[in-house]
Structure 1
Amino acid sequence: MTAAHLAIVMPAYNEAEGISGFIDEIRQHVGPLVGQLTFVVADDRSTDATVAALQNIDDVRVEPQQVNRGHGPTALAAYRAGLALHPDLLVHVDGDGQFVGEDFARMLKAMESTGADVVHGVRHSRTDPWYRRTLTSAVGMLIALAAGRRVPDVNTPLRAYRPEALRMLLDAVPAEVLVPHVHFSLAEARSGFTVRYLSVRSIPRRGSSTSGTMWGGGVKALVPPPRLRQFANAALQEAWQLSLRPGAPLRSIRLENSRS
């Protein structure tokens, strides 16, 4: 057994087509490894049947958000709702289901065998549009310069945390932050966290609807949609203010007694 209680948290927006099947697949692979498994879905005011698809499932808790706030704030809300359950380990993944269940089991086993504070799932075979892959690479280069070393897949949404490490990161970022995982990756690299990186498979979003992505533009867009271009500009300004500039608040995080 890798954990007495595992919380798996998901931000979701219009994922009715695939989210329950995704949860079933994760449960199949990680259920035998933990004593108790709880899924926490932070729903970002979906306009489809996402919430209805998750009702009456014993191990799923749905946390509807008061207003639609986008991916970053909803991810943070999911993290906080998961921590409130006092789990031994916590895993974050987006509700669009772009991962396979067996990799969740591999992450838990890596957490147990290495004693890491955090395990990142590093995506291979990504099927996202070219501009999203390019944006991730560009941000990764910026973070490498700031951290003094390369951070693989800096914005990956698949992450396993020990609660004490996650609390320190959550306490350092505002609730409305746009790119929490970029800030987390940089703080982890700078601040004494023991981080392990695990190659995981990336698959297309589960569901055919183009309205389900939290990033805008749908799954078949050939050029960056306006919403994503605006988001990228705002995210870069946020990264400078919170993580990159001299005296930025996230530069002061230090995790004591990290694992080797």
Structure 2
Amino acid sequence: MSVPHLAIVMPAYNEAEGIRGFIEEIREHVAPLAGRVTFVVADDRSTDATVAALTGIDDVQVQPQPANRGHGPTALAAYRAGLALQPDLLVHVDGDGQFVGPDFVRLILGIESTGADVVHGVRHSRTDPWYRRALTGAVGLLVAATAGRRVPDVNTPMRAYRPDALRVLAEAVPADALVPHVHFSLAEARGGFAVRYVAVRSIPRRGASTSGTMWGGGVKALVPPPRLRRFAADALREVWRLSLRPGAPLRSIRFENQRA
């Protein structure tokens, strides 16, 4: 099995300490599965040396964003930049390096062997603060109630997509969406996408500093920081407006899987 052109896209913010090593680890494991591998890093106006750390690497394209906009819009920009390369398969992962190389192989084999439109990496052994795990679980229950089925790890950032399926999602979700992966998961569950799930290991963020996390506080924080509380409230309003309420624009997304 060989993917002619594999694109791996990642949003990044202040990940200078770990991102180069993370990309090297991914490349080592996926290169035998692809004729060509291209990495696209959408940099959310990092204030450290993230861009410099990736300069001069032949298979890495760094695309600085016009302004610091947060994870959701930067992830969508990474997806769209990857699609513009017209790859045969596209994998998304966050630039903080919370996954391990062998699981990328499992993700790619999962989508290629099943003919699925998308494969989600379902995280286990998460070391994120309790409130981030609790928020993911609460959103998962909300999605199950509205989509009619449970979606494991509804907001996972590790996903493999076939371009034709991803294009339907990326073109429908607004470029400034705060939680595009929640919208993607809802649309996939309701819209005819063939979805598969692969268990993947979650590890602590690579790098000693905490400047790369948008939530602050580190894994030892006992209560959700104010920024996360504000974000959660804004995200819930967005999910209701775009994906959940009767007549919401993203409820109409449909996709016919040609490989099923």
TM-score, normalization by structure 2: 0.98
Root mean square deviation of aligned Cα: 0.9
Q: 2:141 matched to 1:163?
A: no
Which residue pairs with 1:84 in the alignment? 84
1:18 aligns with 2:18: yes
**1:167-178 matched pairs, under 5 angstroms:** 167-178=167-178
| Aligned length in residues | 260
Letter in 1 for 2:17: E
Report deviation, 1:256.
1.7
One-letter identity of the residue aligned with 1:167: R
Moved over 2 A (4+): 214-222, 257-260
- Give ranges in structure 1 of 5+ residues lacking alignment: none
Q: Distance in 2 between matches of 1:247 and 1:103?
A: 38
User: Does residue 188 in structure 1 map to residue 202 in structure 2?
Assistant: no
Answer whether contact 1:188 1:195 (CA < 8 A) is retained.
yes
- Which amino acid is 2:32 matched to? P
Pair 1:49-2:40 in alignment: no
| Whole-angstrom distance in 2 between the partners of 1:67 and 1:216 | 20
Q: Any conservation in 2 of the 1:71–1:215 contact (CA below 8 Å)?
A: no
Q: 1:125 matched to which residue of 2?
A: 125
Judge conservation of contact 1:194–1:258 (CA < 8 Å) in 2: no
Check whether the contact 1:186–1:243 (CA below 8 A) recurs between aligned residues. yes
Identity rate of aligned residues, in percent? 80
Tell me by how many angstroms 1:153 deviates: 0.1
Residue in structure 1 matched with residue 244 of structure 2 by the alignment: 244
What amino acid is aligned across from residue 233 of structure 2 in structure 1? N
| Equivalent residues in 2 for 1:38-77, closer than 5 Å | 38-77=38-77
After TM superposition, give the deviation of residue 219 of structure 1 in Å.
4.0
Q: Distance in 1 between matches of 2:217 and 2:50?
A: 20
- Structure 2: stretches of 5+ with no match in the other structure: none
Could you state the TM-score of these two structures normalised by the residue count of structure 1? Answer: 0.98
Structure 1 position 171, deviation (Å)? 1.1
CA contact (8 A) 2:193 2:257 kept: no
Letter in 1 for 2:98: Q
Q: Name the CA shift for 1:42/1:96 in 2 (closer, same or farther; >3 Å).
A: same
Q: What is the CA–CA distance in structure 2 between the aligned matches of 1:209 and 1:135, rounded to whole Å?
A: 24
C-alpha distance in structure 1 between counterparts of 2:219 and 2:65, whole Å: 24
2:254 pairs with 1:254: yes
Letter in 1 for 2:196: R
Could you tell me how far apart the structure 2 residues matched to 1:219 and 1:45 are? Answer: 24
Partner of 1:209, secondary structure, is coil
* Partner Cα separation in structure 1 for residue 11 and residue 217 of structure 2: 18
- For residues 257 and 23 of structure 2, the distance between their equivalents in structure 1, rounded to whole angstroms, comes to 34
CA distance, structure 2, for counterparts of residue 131 and residue 257 of structure 1? 36
1:18-71 deviation per Cα after TM superposition (whole angstroms, max 9, x unaligned): 000000000000001100000000000000000000000000000000110000
Cα distance per residue 1:86-105 (max 9 Å; x no partner) = 00000000000000000001
CA shift, 1:223, in A, is: 1.4
Aligned AA for 2:153? D
**Residues 1:219 and 1:49: Cα distance change in structure 2 (over 3 Å):** farther
Match of 1:148 in 2: 148
SS in 2 for 1:91: strand
Q: Deviations over 1:148-193 (max 9, x none)?
A: 0000000000000000000000111110000000000000000000
Deviation of residue 258 (structure 1)? Answer: 4.4
Structure 1 letter corresponding to 2:200: V
Do the aligned partners of 1:117 and 1:258 also contact (CA within 8 Å) in 2? no
2-structure distance, mates of 1:220, 1:13: 21
Counterpart secondary structure, 1:9: strand
